[in-house]
Amino acid sequence: MSGMIALFKAMLESLRDLVPIILVVSFFQLVVLQEPLPQLVSILIGLFLVVLGLTLFIFGLKMGLFPIGETMAQAFARKGSLSSLMAFAFCLGFGTTVAEPALTAIAQEAAEVAAQGGVIANTQTNIEEYALGLRLTVALSVGCAIMLGVLRILKGWPISRLIMGGYLGVVLLTLVAPEFIIGVAYDSGGVTTSTITVPLVTALGIGLSSAIKGRNPMIDGFGLIAFASLLPMMFVMVYGMVVSQ
């Protein structure tokens, strides 16, 4: 019974979070456009499914992803094996990014647009290879980004200097990268910070900083997501330079 009550309260919280979106859509549809909501029954059913899915997703994070991420990070820190920890960090970043639905969608869209624009040959094989190459490039960059973030936590490096240096690299690459890849590169930095990557990477940073003496989870535990957003922009621009040759 207590579990059902907790689930019901979580659903109410999810609904509360969606209320601003519902109000905005309803206002512009009914007041500005002055048109009734199309397929109201379908919209209500879809809204219920969204609330239910969001609730179950949050439950899953709390019960599974966050605990396992923190536990494994602490275990690696206690073991004291730098190579194992760095390998885990890379595989975590690479694996979660490859699984990101948002990345799959934007890679496929970018490949189709590139084919239509004459950047690559307009064949199904070339489109699939371009999309796969883009996905693997972003995944590789996130893997490297998580390794850099873990190394920062271990060494105690200030995040501000690393971020400023990284964005300086983004600016310099923007000046020389082909125009057709710049927008895709910038968007790639955003799609990596989505539903799968963020929980596990955040748990990794917090767990690792909590297990290392002299590290503050509030100061050192966060910041991995920033690297996961930064490096894909650089890697994808380099990928565009290679493809355009």
pLDDT band at 166; cut points 50, 70, 90: very high
Average pLDDT over residues 54-73: 73
Confidence check: pLDDT of 170 > 90: yes
Q: How far is CA 22 from CA 12, 17, 26, 47, 108, in A?
A: 14, 10, 6, 9, 30
Average pLDDT over residues 177-194: 84
Tokens 């970018």 — which residue? 110
Largest alpha-carbon pair distance within the chain?
A: 64
- Please give the pLDDT value at position 141: 93
Query: How many CA atoms does the CB half-sphere of 188 hold within 13 Å?
Result: 35
- Please give the pLDDT value at position 140: 94
Name 35's Cβ contacts closer than 8 Å, sequence gap at least 6: 29
pLDDT band at 84; cut points 50, 70, 90: confident
Confidence check: pLDDT of 73 > 80: no
The predicted-structure confidence for 222-237, as pLDDT tens digits, reads as follows 888 888 889 999 999 9
- Please give the pLDDT value at position 3: 63
The predicted-structure confidence for 101-114, as pLDDT tens digits, reads as follows 788 888 898 889 88
Give the whole-angstrom CA distance, residue 25 versus residue 20: 9
